[in-house]
A and B are shown apart, each in its own frame.
Chain A
């Protein structure tokens, strides 16, 4: 068949009846239909709903708020302060762990571990952690500040893996964990913290 046989396109465009074209042209049409049919299959198991809804649920800070936050963040000092805070918070966490012998230890599967979340938010009324492990739904995993010293803590049993997360302070202010070992830019120009959960006992 000549590729420019006008009946080929006319029939495919519905301008003339398919039955009226010569067999050679019809075979070419069938080859093209078969090729298109191969592509007309949705990738199995693919869904972006959870990912999109998670992003939508995250509030977009205004430019003014981002500017204020940037100005309020101790950029120059943070490098000096971070190790001290890390050590201090680690010490607090270790101390509280030792003191809380009465707490019930969760039973962990072989491929589970505990993710510890610690953040310093003096004056906060509530702090929650949201992340890829809970579909970025605010309000589901609260942190606690039992001794009212402004340090909020919480632990979550999760399957082994790496998770992105942020804190939600007072139900409206989304902030990354500046003490996190790692952070990553999400696809939408913001920064998420990373927690790596390793199997318990390792």
Chain B
């Protein structure tokens, strides 16, 4: 139980494994926003991100018993989503995604400012799509999700020096792409 009275991740995991199926909803509500944002950054498409996260969460539920350290539920979920996204990208690279599927969808009520913001998001998404899935994953985990290199290592299974190198390369490539735009 945390200071707000919410059950901790290990407590919720224990409830689900004990047969309280509905308790999994707590896990979804706790992490789906982070996971959707991560998947959207990886895939460049809101619809694809929702599919990836939904499939990952169902998979997580079915394999919850295999989670050795329930305290690491968050990074475990990121890992499942990351793998799902990379599988998706292996079948369909992000650069092939239609920009019509990308997040910045504007409706007639949008202001000029929000339209401009949508264009900026599209520009960053295009630049990200030029990166390899591994570099994109490293950049999004570090700079969008705010994970530490230790947490990133738990998510990806890679060594920290490798991850640092990927993040550095991704930063340089992204910066170059933004400057060229």
Contact present for A4 and B172 (CB under 8 Å) = yes
Segment at the interface with B among A43-51, A81-89, A101-109, A151-159 = A43-51
Cβ of B133 within 8 Å of any chain A Cβ, yes or no, is no
Cβ of B72 within 8 Å of any chain A Cβ, yes or no, is no
Segment at the interface with B among A53-61, A91-99, A116-124, A166-174 = A53-61
- Among B28, B167, B168, the residue within 8 A (CB) of A52 is B28
Contact present for A47 and B175 (CB under 8 Å) = no
* Residue in chain B with minimal CB distance to A51: B54
Q: Chain B's nearest CB lies how many Å from the CB of A22?
A: 16
Contact present for A48 and B57 (CB under 8 Å) = yes
Residues of A close to B144: CB separation below 8 A: 36, 39-40
- Among B54, B121, B168, B174, the residue within 8 A (CB) of A48 is B54
Interface size class of A (residues with CB under 8 A): 20 to 34
Contact present for B21 and A43 (CB under 8 Å) = no
**Separation of A154 and B7 alpha carbons in the complex (Å):** 41
* Residue in chain B with minimal CB distance to A45: B46
Cβ of B129 within 8 Å of any chain A Cβ, yes or no, is no
Which parts of B7-44 form the interface with A (CB within 8 Å)?
Answer: 21-22, 24-25, 28-29, 32-33, 36-37, 40-41
**Separation of A47 and B54 alpha carbons in the complex (Å):** 9
Q: Mark A28-49, 1 if CB is under 8 A from B, else 0.
A: 1001110110111111001111
Contact present for B36 and A48 (CB under 8 Å) = yes
Cβ of A180 within 8 Å of any chain B Cβ, yes or no, is no
- Among A8, A32, A46, the residue within 8 A (CB) of B174 is A32
Contact present for B172 and A39 (CB under 8 Å) = no
Q: Chain A's nearest CB lies how many Å from the CB of B129?
A: 12
Residues of A close to B29: CB separation below 8 A: 49
Cβ of A70 within 8 Å of any chain B Cβ, yes or no, is no
* Residue in chain B with minimal CB distance to A57: B21
Contact present for B58 and A35 (CB under 8 Å) = no
Q: A9-B168, A39-B124, A40-B144 are in contact. Are A52 and B61 (CB under 8 A)?
A: yes
Contact present for B172 and A35 (CB under 8 Å) = no
Contacts A39-B128, A52-B28 known; 11 new A-B pairs at CB < 8 A: A9-B167, A35-B174, A36-B143, A36-B144, A40-B37, A41-B121, A43-B36, A53-B22, A53-B25, A56-B21, A56-B58
Can you list 27 residue pairs at the A/B interface with Cβ under 8 Å? A4-B172, A9-B164, A12-B171, A13-B167, A31-B178, A32-B143, A33-B143, A39-B125, A40-B37, A40-B144, A41-B121, A42-B33, A43-B37, A43-B103, A46-B50, A48-B53, A48-B57, A51-B54, A52-B57, A52-B58, A53-B28, A56-B21, A56-B24, A56-B61, A60-B62, A187-B51, A188-B58
CB-CB nearest 6 A-B residue pairs: A36-B143, A48-B54, A3-B172, A43-B46, A42-B33, A52-B57
Residues of B within 8 A of A (CB): 21-22, 24-25, 28-29, 32-33, 36-37, 40-41, 46, 49-51, 53-55, 57-58, 61-62, 103, 117, 120-121, 124-125, 127-128, 139-140, 143-144, 164, 167-168, 171-172, 174-176, 178
